[in-house]
Chain A
Amino acid sequence: QVQLVESGGGVVQPGRSLRLSCAASGFFFSSYGMHWVRQAPGKGLEWVASISYERSDEYHADSVKGRFTISRDNSKNTLYLEMNSLKPEDTAVYYCAKDLPSRHCSNGVCYPDAFDIWGQGTMVTVSS
């Protein structure tokens, strides 16, 4: 079945780095854009980053720009989030999510209409 499984979370000190992975199965990974969304404890959902199916386009939230980098390896069916210079406010459950096949394009950029499959999440705690 279609599945996303995140890994790599843990407890890390402020200023350190962490790399999250998201292993995909049950669908043609290289045909879909992928995303990271996070949720701080007791808070709502925050979009973090997106990458196009062919890796040519990457987008990051202002809150992580310059510190986090989304990437993917289509040969390994895996999505990554490299997180550097971590701050306490980065503490959250990090979910990876897949494009809904339905999408729309505007000004040369294509957007999914929603995220249809989500992983179970991996917890990142930034604390000294």
Chain B
Amino acid sequence: DIQMTQSPSSVSASIGDRVTITCRASQDIRSFLAWYQQKPGKAPKLLIYAASSLQSGVPSRFSGSGSGTDFTLTISNLQPEDFTTYYCQQADSFPFTFGGGTKVEI
């Protein structure tokens, strides 16, 4: 199975900051990586797919990059609603696997 390692597990930031979250795959997953945002008690919401494609309706302050084994999610100009948890997921092959999550805190 492909292991997904996210870092950091938590990050402290302020409104207006830029935050970068990293996801590393245990093997080459090409560009088949997605990023999700999850707020407490809610279902995950798709932000980015295919490593860098912004899902419809998602603000442009969210961006993704990377290929192969190393990927990043960048949130520019942090807004109050962005302080929550983010997960990466490899979509290269079954079994799909998720990173452990990154909590963005004030």
Residues of A within 8 A of B (CB): 35, 37, 44-47, 50, 59, 61-62, 95, 100, 102, 104, 106, 109, 111-116, 118-121
- Least CB distance from B80 to A in Å reads 23
A105 to B100, CA, bound (A): 26
Provide the main secondary structure of the chain B interface.
loop
B69-99 CB mask vs A (1 if < 8 Å, else 0) is 0000000000000000001010111111111
Please determine whether A111 and B91 come into contact, CB atoms closer than 8 angstroms: yes
Q: Which of B42, B44, B50, B95 is close to A113, meaning CB atoms less than 8 Å apart?
A: B50
Please name all residues of chain B whose beta carbon is closer than 8 Å to the beta carbon of A102 when the two chains form the complex. Answer: 49-50, 53
We find that the number of chain B residues with CB closer than 8 angstroms to chain A is 27
Please determine whether A100 and B98 come into contact, CB atoms closer than 8 angstroms: no
Please name all residues of chain A whose beta carbon is closer than 8 Å to the beta carbon of B95 when the two chains form the complex. Answer: 47, 59, 61-62
